[in-house]
Amino acid sequence: MASSKNNTIKLKFDSARKYAPAPESRSSAKINARYDLFINGKFEKPVSKKYFGTISPSSEEKLSEVADANAADVDKAVKAARQAYDRYWKKLSGAERGKYIYRIARMIQERARELAIIESLNGGKPIRESRDFDVPTAANHFFYYAGWADKLEYAFPNRQAQPLGVAGQIIPWNFPLLMAAWKIAPALATGNTVVLKPAETTPLTALKLAEIIQEADIPPGVVNIITGAGATGAALVNHPGIDKIAFTGSTQVGKIIQNAIAGTSKKATLELGGKAANIIFDDAPLDQAVEGVINGIFFNQGHVCCAGSRLYVQESVFKQVVQKLKDRLETMIVGDPLDKNTDIGAINSKEQLNTINKYIKIGIKEGAEMYQSSAELPHKGFWCRPTLFTNVAQSNRIAQEEIFGPVLAIQSFRTDDEVIEKANNSPYGLSSGVWTDKGSKIFNLTTKLRSGVVWANTFNKFDPTSPFGGYKESGYGREGGLHGLNAYVKLI
């Protein structure tokens, strides 16, 4: 019975999956064969003399090679940032700083198509997402913070906001351009200068941003962009010329950074992992909720710190919701990130795919029941079918630990108190989602859920004006909005 039902579903959805391929042309994306380090307004060869390759995770094709900055390179970049800060940037009026930042925003818009293609090629995410979310949201962050640059006296009434100095910024591979924007825009608006290090698997859009910054005539040394892996990041964190560290990445590295700067005057904001709970009550509009849950966990292959990787469904609608999720999974198109029909692109790296597969095995071993879509996967590259687990216990590792992939752990609940306790029973506290028809229930839950963001009847919505950040092991400090300015100033 079960298998014939699955076959019917498969037949029904096979036709849905068969769209004619609609790949975005790569011709407008110019990628150099090799990139040097962007220091003091110029691309400079690394002192280390070393480079490493960067690939497309959907084809394993080498796209380019980038410099591997060592401690001497980091030192050059930090010194350039310091000089630019002392000689120029800190003396500039807010209105003048704002003009430069607006220029970056407009140039991102002008080169949006190229940036989106390179983001999808280098990171594996569907072009629909990089085109409609990553790149426009990155431009919006620059626009938003450009607007604050000459209004800091209104952001901090009766106080004087002074910049911190040189900010070392380390970003992850899941939203390379957007994370660079989140970090650079508020730092520049408040008068700081920057050394930014993108993640080792996705350096290309940050290097494109370096080209934009050069073309926009931003004074040399105000923004420096250097490539490398963990050792480069550590050299940046430990450099005595850094006044502030802004980091987004794993909780493990967040803890290393916290230890490294303990006892120094360096300030830090850390955006770390998450294990967000989506909660569906029986009075919720179920189709809308299912769509939100699908978006919450499968958006960007689940490579999202606030991904809704846990789902709690009220018992009376549990079966119905799980069936709807399975049906919807079958319609999802997994494949070429540059194809406009693609819903789920490539996993960012072989390493990350191994982590996800390890957790899928753990889930099965723990006794949870797995369901995967029957989507065919390309032969080359790193891929994972969208995956659901039911029969999950709260103590299971798949319900507790961050998987950072397209894997959803589903549990049921009966009462508000029970689900609040379960949702809060996590070392993380970045985000959560509530689906219900009742405003009173939304208010009850939003006050009791220990997470930085609670979305109600929606999920994964971002806006430059809203602060974002976590509780507990999800880190500290807020980025975005007025709060995001706070992280880059001292108030006198």
Q: Which residues are catalytic?
A: 271, 305
The residues facing 331 across adjacent strands are: none
Considering beta carbons, is residue 97 or 197 the nearer one to ligand NAI?
A: 197
Which span (55-63, 168-176, 185-193, 389-397) binds ligand NAI, by CB under 6 A? 168-176
Which span (7-15, 226-234, 363-371, 478-486) binds ligand NAI, by CB under 6 A? 226-234
Q: By CB under 6 A, tell whether 174 contacts ligand NAI.
A: yes
Please give the distance of CA 15 from its chain centroid, rounded to a whole number: 33
Q: Are the beta carbons of 192 and 164 closer than 8 angstroms?
A: yes
Name the 3-class secondary structure at 191.
coil
CB of 49 to ligand NAI, least distance (A): 20
Considering beta carbons, is residue 191 or 464 the nearer one to ligand NAI?
A: 464
Q: By CB under 6 A, tell whether 177 contacts ligand NAI.
A: no
Cα–Cα dist 276/246, whole Å: 22
CB of 302 to ligand NAI, least distance (A): 10
Q: How many CA atoms lie within 13 A of 276 on its CB side?
A: 29
Residue found under tokens 């029986």 = 282
The one among 114, 200, 330, 473 contacting ligand NAI by CB under 6 A: 200
Q: Are strands 277-280 and 431-435 parallel, antiparallel or unpaired?
A: parallel
Question: Which among 451, 455, 449, 461 is positioned nearest to 436, based on CA atoms?
Answer: 455
Question: Any residues with CB less than 8 A from the CB of 245 and at least 6 apart, and which?
Answer: 167, 168, 169, 170, 236, 237, 257, 261, 266, 267, 268, 269
Cα–Cα dist 456/430, whole Å: 15
Q: By CB under 6 A, tell whether 249 contacts ligand NAI.
A: yes
Label residue 238 exposed, middle or buried (CB < 10 Å: 0-12, 13-18, 19+).
Answer: middle
Considering beta carbons, is residue 245 or 294 the nearer one to ligand NAI?
A: 245
Distances (CA, A) of 473 to 36, 406, 407, 435: 35, 21, 21, 25
CB of 27 to ligand NAI, least distance (A): 30
487 sits in the region (left: phi over 0; alpha: psi -120 to 50; else beta) called: alpha
Number of residues that bind ligand NAI (CB under 6 A): 27
First CA to last CA across the chain, in angstroms?
A: 72
Considering beta carbons, is residue 197 or 324 the nearer one to ligand NAI?
A: 197
Cα–Cα dist 377/255, whole Å: 36
Sign of the Cα pseudo-torsion (437, 443, 446, 449, in order): negative
Q: By CB under 6 A, tell whether 253 contacts ligand NAI.
A: yes
Considering beta carbons, is residue 169 or 190 the nearer one to ligand NAI?
A: 169
- Positions 343 through 382 that interact with ligand NAI (CB under 6 A): 352, 355
CB of 285 to ligand NAI, least distance (A): 30
CB of 439 to ligand NAI, least distance (A): 31
The one among 46, 233, 296, 363 contacting ligand NAI by CB under 6 A: 233
Please count the residues of the chain. 492
CB of 199 to ligand NAI, least distance (A): 4
Q: Binding pattern to ligand NAI, positions 288-327, x when CB under 6 A?
A: -----------------x----------------------
Which span (78-86, 93-101, 218-226, 252-260) binds ligand NAI, by CB under 6 A? 252-260
Question: Any residues with CB less than 8 A from the CB of 228 and at least 6 apart, and which?
Answer: 67, 68, 69, 70, 73, 197, 200
Q: By CB under 6 A, tell whether 170 contacts ligand NAI.
A: yes
Q: By CB under 6 A, tell whether 273 contacts ligand NAI.
A: yes
The one among 172, 345, 429, 464 contacting ligand NAI by CB under 6 A: 172
Binding site for ligand NAI (CB under 6 A): 170-174, 197, 199-200, 229-230, 233-234, 237, 248-250, 253, 256-257, 271-273, 305, 352, 355, 402, 404
